[in-house]
Amino acid sequence: MKIFLDTADVAEIREYAASGLVDGVTTNPSLAAKTGKDYVESLKEICALVPGPISAEVLATDFDGMMAQAKIFQKIAPNIAIKVPLTWDGLKACRALTDGGAQVNVTLCFSAVQAMMAAKAGAAFISPFIGRLDDIGEDGMTLIRDIRAIYDNYGFKTEVLAASIRSVSHVLHCALAGADVATIPTAIFKKLLDHTLTDKGLAAFIADAKKANVTIKG
């Protein structure tokens, strides 16, 4: 499963991209606002740090406005993916942009039928928001499994990009359900390697080495 970072913080992206474990980034104007930097300028920096898809979200809700903003984003770098909402105008823009050679991430997906329609519109990515479904008492992981089944049934190439990730458990279950991508806040990304036994084991190895005066000489 690919891992994207869900942030517009350039410093964080630079730090974690250096690990070689970051396959892409998803952003939106709300995340950019938290950094205090211009959104387009932030996108330029992010695209230079991560060669994989960088989702840039339009603010417009009408077709013409989405297309105009998409043109601005496309000038930034070839790895930009245009993020549009799952509305009629959004899917119309998705089809037009895809036909023009752009990658499109269709966001705010909350049902498998919506995901099917986005795939038919040519989306490169569909973003189901599992955490927000959990918030209203529904099972977000069921949505991931349903989308995976539909896409596999009909050979849709759209990648399932699990969004609204709230925990390491979400990441695990997205991988088990067959999500192609999980986009993860940096706070969750930092926890992916955490385990008490790993920490205890490392401490024991170091202590044993010190007691035995083990050194590694070149």
Whether the CB-CB separation of 142 and 109 falls below 8 Å is answered with no
- Per-residue pLDDT reduced to its tens digit, 172-203: 999 999 999 999 999 999 999 999 999 999 99
- With beta carbons less than 8 A apart as the criterion, state whether 8 and 34 touch: yes
Beta strand 181-184 pairing with 103-109: unpaired
Which one-letter DSSP state was computed for residue 200? H
Catalytic one among 71, 83, 120, 191? 83
Which band of pLDDT confidence, cut at 50, 70 and 90, is reported for residue 58? Answer: very high
Backbone angles phi, psi at 93, to 5 degrees: -65, -40
Q: Domains (ranges, CATH) in the chain?
A: 2-211 (3.20.20.70)
pLDDT given at position 209: 86
Does 83 participate in catalysis according to the annotation?
yes
pLDDT in tens, 1-31: 999 999 999 999 999 999 999 999 999 988 9
Query: CA-CA-CA-CA torsion for 92, 94, 95, 101, nearest 10 degrees?
Result: 150
User: Looking at per-residue confidence, does 51 or 208 come out higher?
Assistant: 51
Tell me the one-letter amino acid at 160. V
Residue 87, class by beta-carbon neighbours within 10 Å (0-12 exposed, 13-18 middle, 19+ buried)? Answer: middle
Task: Give the confidence band of 218 by pLDDT, cuts at 50, 70, 90.
Answer: confident
Helix axes 88-99, 112-120, angle to 10 degrees: 30
Residue 215, pLDDT score: 87
pLDDT value, residue 118: 98
List CB contacts of 175: < 8 A, sequence separation 6 or more.
Answer: 1, 182
133-180 pLDDT tens trace: 999 999 999 999 999 999 999 999 999 999 999 999 999 999 999 999
pLDDT digits (tens, 9 = 90+) for 72-105: 999 999 999 999 999 999 999 999 999 999 999 9
Pairing of strands 2-6, 125-128: unpaired
pTM attached to this predicted model: 0.94
